[in-house]
Amino acid sequence: IYTLIKDLFKQSRVLLFIWDDSCGRFIKENNKNHYENDFRISHTLFASVLSERKEITSMDIVKDERIKDSESLHGQSIHSVMCIPLLVKEKILGIIYVDTQDQSLEFTPEDFNFICLLSIHIALVLEKILFCEILIKENELLRKNVNSEHPLIGNSELFNKVINISKRVAPTDLSVLIRGETGTGKELIARFIHQNSPRKHFPLVPVHCAALSESLLESELFGHEKGAFTGANTQKIGKFEQPNGGTIFLDEIGEIPLNIQVKLLRFLQEKELERVGGTKKIKVNVRIITATNRDLEKAIKEGSFREDLYYRIKGLQINIPPLKDRKSDIKPLAEYFIHRWAKNFDRLPPKISEKGLKILENYSWPGNIRELKHIIEQALVLSTNDTLDEHDFFIDSNSDTQLLDNYNFNSEEITPFKKAQEAFEKNYLNNIMKKLNGNVTLASKISGFDRS
């Protein structure tokens, strides 16, 4: 912007000031002309522009009553001066200052009208630039918040291998297939890859494919045109278009119906799509990360998943191990959840006793990290002690192999499953009710059981 104005007024002195919210003042834009960097401006003129929120121009300051008291202008033998605010919606984003000491270069009314018109366009451009800078800062802050809200925690060899592979693949555009049981943190790994990729300044859009019906899923992924089907009253931009330049994360991709798999394969091959009900091909720049807990190889043999799509999404495969295979990660994960929930409950984070830790480490965790998080939350709700011991964690036993003994099972007399389940639920709820002094509402909320 400075260069543009300087080129228009080559023989004049030009300064551009931009408002900086971080320090609450106008900052002079740098230029290479040390002479212009050193010259003084009229504070009287500057203050008038700010207070009146309108431009001030003087073809000949000697004859101008408005600025006759400006010592800096007269002291530098300034002949003509223009000071124009860059105004958008009553907010001054900057100020253009131009002056000349040469009487032969006296500014004309045409010069004044032109720079005033130019300032309107410059102000709009500047508004967009400042808005983009704010967005970049907010996105960076959001990424930091996401990282702090959901950090990748673990020091086991298996987990470190997952992180190292994720770091290696992140800077590339290779498609990634993340595999693992429910609750192992597949979406966290997808976010980690995105946040460490060149696409991090653009959105990551997650889609949980299993949560949508076939008709909704197609419209959700590819979008639709107005009138494409009953209820399509407006045009809709699909998930593939939304992160243009970013990443899309397709969770539970193994649940996508075959007819949509065909359309997805075509999109991955051609990098373009057609909205539902549309005929126009739309080019899309997006990286694909997928995840599943399903045995895709078995699904291919059964005919429910396309083999060509499988190899298209499997640019690189990352296998997340279940929590039961990451025993050394259980303690740091539990401590993280303890600190997180303690903060939410406005209390000091309790420690875990050796027996408490043992019961956590010996459990098989079928629900993986998600289950651990819920167990820790329950423990902090029910216990007010400074230390959590084995009695505070609502899991079956310190070892899955001892479950039968706890509920009077033995090798000679096997209790029917339904009866065993009822015995467990009764014992589980009795323990909760004792801890909560008979508070049915809170017991229902924590356990997930209906009040009745």
The pLDDT tens digits for 182-208 are 999 999 999 999 999 999 988 899 999
Query: Do 261 and 207 belong to one domain?
Result: yes
Least confident segment among 101-110, 171-180, 249-258: 101-110
Can you say whether residue 306 is alpha, beta or left, with left for phi > 0 and alpha for psi between -120 and 50 degrees?
A: beta
Q: pLDDT at residue 145 above 80? A: no
pLDDT value of residue 402: 41
**Higher per-residue pLDDT: 373 or 406:** 373
Asked if residue 145 is part of any domain, the answer here is no
Q: How many domains does the chain have?
A: 3
Least confident segment among 276-280, 326-330, 356-360, 362-366: 276-280
Structure tokens at 54: 């309108």
State pTM to two decimals: 0.61
Query: Do 184 and 196 belong to one domain?
Result: yes
Among 278, 298, 321, the domain-final residue is 321
pLDDT per position as a tens digit, 151-180: 789 999 999 999 999 999 999 999 999 999
Q: Are 126 and 1 in contact (CB under 8 A)?
A: yes
Query: Do 336 and 363 belong to one domain?
Result: yes
Query: Do 350 and 312 belong to one domain?
Result: no
Task: Print burial letters for 411-444: b (CB count within 10 Å at least 16), e (below 16).
Answer: eeeeeeeeebeeeeeeeeeeebeebbeeeeebbe
pLDDT value of residue 162: 97
pLDDT value of residue 150: 58
Query: Do 12 and 131 belong to one domain?
Result: yes
Q: pLDDT at residue 73 above 50? A: yes
pLDDT value of residue 8: 78
Query: Do 303 and 413 belong to one domain?
Result: no
Query: Do 385 and 286 belong to one domain?
Result: no
Among 321, 349, 381, the domain-final residue is 321
The listed range with the strongest mean pLDDT (17-31, 74-88, 357-371) is: 357-371
Query: Do 374 and 431 belong to one domain?
Result: yes
Distance CA 46, CA 48 (A): 5
Query: Do 117 and 164 belong to one domain?
Result: no
Find all residues with CB under 8 Å of 421, minimum gap 6, and list them. Answer: none
pLDDT value of residue 62: 77
**Residue of 190, 165, 168 lying closest to 178 (CA atoms):** 190
Least confident segment among 23-37, 142-156, 164-178: 23-37
Asked if residue 387 is part of any domain, the answer here is yes
Q: What's CA 281's distance to the chain center, in Å?
A: 29
DSSP three-state, residue 361: helix
DSSP three-state, residue 282: strand
- Specify the amino acid at residue 264: L
CA angle 197, 177, 241 (to 5 degrees): 60
Identify the domain containing residue 386 by its residue range. Answer: 325-447
Asked if residue 144 is part of any domain, the answer here is no
Q: How many CB atoms lie within 10 A of CB 358?
A: 14
Asked if residue 143 is part of any domain, the answer here is no
For residues 250-279, give the mean pLDDT.
92
Give alpha helix (H) positions in 277-393: 296-302, 307-313, 327-344, 354-362, 368-382
Asked if residue 350 is part of any domain, the answer here is yes
Query: Do 170 and 277 belong to one domain?
Result: yes
DSSP three-state, residue 338: helix
Query: Do 90 and 237 belong to one domain?
Result: no
DSSP letter at 321 equals P
Q: Which residue has the tokens 């105004």?
A: 87
Residue 192 to residues 146, 244, 264: CA-CA distances in angstroms? 10, 19, 24
pLDDT per position as a tens digit, 295-349: 999 999 999 999 999 999 999 999 999 999 999 999 999 999 999 888 888 889 9
Among 321, 347, 367, the domain-final residue is 321
Q: pLDDT at residue 31 above 90? A: no
Distance CA 156, CA 328 (A): 6
Q: How many CB atoms lie within 10 A of CB 261?
A: 17
Query: Do 409 and 311 belong to one domain?
Result: no
pLDDT per position as a tens digit, 419-430: 666 666 777 777
Asked if residue 32 is part of any domain, the answer here is yes
CATH code assigned at 247: 3.40.50.300
Question: Binning pLDDT at 50, 70 and 90, where does residue 403 land?
Answer: very low
Q: pLDDT at residue 450 above 80? A: no
Asked if residue 101 is part of any domain, the answer here is yes
CATH code assigned at 28: 3.30.450.40
pLDDT value of residue 131: 80
Q: What's CA 359's distance to the chain center, in Å?
A: 36
pLDDT value of residue 189: 96
Asked if residue 142 is part of any domain, the answer here is no
CATH code assigned at 355: 1.10.8.60
